Chain A
Amino acid sequence: DAGVTQSPTHLIKTRGQQVTLRCSPKSGHDTVSWYQQALGQGPQFIFQYYEEEERQRGNFPDRFSGHQFPNYSSELNVNALLLGDSALYLCASSMYGIPNYGYTFGSGTRLTVV
């Protein structure tokens, strides 16, 4: 049973560029959440997708956008990259509406902005 798959593993981008990160959730999960983790910090919630709609959003600017596809996979897009966007981006899948349930995380995408 495949867990959460994220691609690419590592990415280097230049300031001002745009980036797309991808996530395939665990089989049976219908909800995808994205987190940003700066070095030495805990993950911070970016947004959550369910039924192809953004259900919740954290305190991130509109440069961060996402999408969920009918097969539940998801993309995170970041426009006009800043040096401060350098971080580990984590995708977590879960089952919507079931609160007492552990989330499954992917291994993350390490984004470096130069």
Chain B
Amino acid sequence: SQQGEEDPQALSIQEGENATMNCSYKTSINNLQWYRQNSGRGLVHLILIRSNEREKHSGRLRVTLDTSKKSSSLLITASRAADTASYFCATVGAQKLVFGQGTRLTINP
């Protein structure tokens, strides 16, 4: 079963704007990971945040984690057309990934 909800399910913005996606989960975790998927192809690992971390940055990506609310957010700054993809959060517990349903992000030129 899916871990939780991702919000929004779809997001369409103009190139250059920031995109924020949210993820909620249900169980205790070791870490939470974000993945990108282009056009139904394989998933690409973007960033991992540990359960004892609250914020993490990687290039134009910023991830936050609130374990008290069991939620995470992914911010993509200065979006580009190449960022168009589906984004999934996945929690890690007992050495397996449990995914949300994803956010479909469209960047309009």
User: Residues of A at under 8 Å CB distance from B?
Assistant: 4, 6, 31, 33, 35, 37, 39, 41-45, 48, 55-56, 58-59, 88, 90, 92, 94, 96-97, 99-108, 110
Residues of A within 8 A of B78 (CB): none
Q: What 1/0 flags go to B41-52 for Cβ under 8 Å of A? A: 111110010100
A103/B33 contact (C-beta < 8 A), A42-B2, A43-B88, A59-B1 known = yes
Distance of A40 Cα from B88 Cα, bound (Å): 12
B87 to chain A, nearest CB (A): 10
Residues of A within 8 A of B100 (CB): 42
Chain B residue, CB-CB nearest to A57:
B96
- Would A43 and B99 count as touching, CB distance under 8 A? yes
Partner of B45 from A39, A55, A88, A104 at Cβ < 8 Å: A104
Distance of A94 Cα from B94 Cα, bound (Å): 13
Within 8 A of A (CB), among B22-55: 30-31, 33, 35, 40-45, 48, 50
- Would A105 and B98 count as touching, CB distance under 8 A? no
B67 contacts chain A at the CB level, 8 A cutoff: no
Residues of A within 8 A of B48 (CB): 100-102
Distance of A97 Cα from B30 Cα, bound (Å): 12
Residues of B within 8 A of A94 (CB): 95
A99/B99 contact (C-beta < 8 A), A59-B1, A105-B44 known = no
Chain A residue, CB-CB nearest to B53:
A100
Residues of A within 8 A of B98 (CB): 45
B56 to chain A, nearest CB (A): 12
